[in-house]
Amino acid sequence: MSAATTLGCWSDASVGGRRLTRAIVQRVRSATIDVAEERVAEIKSGVVVLVGVGANDRPEDGERLAAKIAGLRIFEEAGKMQRSLADVGGVVLAVPQFTLYGDARHGRRPDFTAAAPPELGKRLFDAFCGALRGNGIEVRQGRFGATMLVRLEADGPVTLALSTDGWRESELGSS
């Protein structure tokens, strides 16, 4: 039986100008992304990362989040989670996911106004993927702005929350 390893944070986005890059990270045995019945990305062992960026985010926010994800010890060895993506030769399948900014506190239709506009969102998503690569991690990417079919075989029993919310400014770079 397989369970999901999920990292995510559901606090308010971009309140008072603060930045909040969000990620859901799921440890997988395998995963694929298809767009219009075309396979655009595929990985074996590694993680699927759903990435949401906000309207006030900067590249530095994604760089810090990428470094955190690259170094997370979420792979098991001797019964303990003590190995990182680099340690196990894992690959990231990065999926742009503006819906992580869906605010459903009022009504039944989510509001996505806190999400970055498409041009900024694409630029920051690409910067995040570049930062993962800069940390020595192999990355495959979904297609920004496309309707994607994401399939995965989840692997792991742990759920964690991760976002740039609450990180000290010194951890994110200066304003």
Residue-level pLDDT at 116: 93
> How large is the angle between the packed helices 118-134 and 59-71, nearest 10 degrees?
40
Q: CA dihedral in degrees (32, 45, 73, 121; nearest 10)?
A: -20
Q: Which CATH number fits domain 19-103+111-163: 3.40.50.1360, 3.40.50.2300, 3.40.50.300, 3.50.80.10?
A: 3.50.80.10
Residue-level pLDDT at 161: 63
Q: Where are the domains of the chain?
A: 19-103+111-163
- What gap in Å lies between CA 135 and CA 143, rounded to an integer? 22
Residue-level pLDDT at 156: 75
Residue-level pLDDT at 2: 32
- What gap in Å lies between CA 145 and CA 125, rounded to an integer? 11
Q: 102-153 pLDDT, tens per residue? A: 889 999 999 999 999 999 999 999 999 999 999 999 999 999 999 999 999 9
Task: Collect the ranges in the chain with pLDDT lower than 50.
Answer: 1-16, 172-175
Residue-level pLDDT at 100: 87
- Return the biggest CA–CA distance within the chain: 48
